[in-house]
Amino acid sequence: MEKLKRGDLESQLNVEVAIMKKMRGSDHVLPVMGYGILPSLTPRIGWIVMPLLDQNLQQLQDSMPHKLFSPATAYRLAIQVRFFNGIILPDAVIKIR
């Protein structure tokens, strides 16, 4: 992965937030509650805060039979996580039956 220069991270974050704000009211985009950059970390990390709509992945997984996702669901989750590569799932383990 290519490292972003100082101005690039801010520009990318501003563009992403501007797009989400423009799509406000859409069924597919959450409202932005806050955003910024953690400058004290190396590499610096951009962050965006949005509200949680419903259950998180762990709650969904716990509600499944045998507490496991089907292979198809795990595959779709992997694609979404890869597509939104800025998302970090802390301590998340996607179990497959």
pLDDT for 28 equals: 78
pLDDT for 89 equals: 45
- 10 Å Cβ neighbour count for 61? 19
Boundaries of domain holding 61: 54-97
Contact between 35 and 18 (Cβ < 8 Å): no
Asked whether residue 58 falls in the same domain as residue 97, the answer is: yes
Query: For the chain, how many structural domains are there in total?
Result: 2
pLDDT for 90 equals: 45
For residue 25, report the phi and psi dihedrals to the nearest 5 degrees.
Answer: 95, -15
User: Where are any strands of DSSP class E within the chain?
Assistant: 34-38, 45-49
pLDDT for 59 equals: 87
Is pTM, for the whole model, over 0.75?
no
> Amino acid identity of 43?
P
- Closest C-alpha among 41, 36, 39 to residue 17: 36
Average pLDDT of adjacent 10-residue blocks, the chain of 97 residues: 62 88 84 85 78 81 88 82 53 48
pLDDT for 7 equals: 63
Asked whether residue 64 falls in the same domain as residue 96, the answer is: yes
Asked whether residue 63 falls in the same domain as residue 94, the answer is: yes
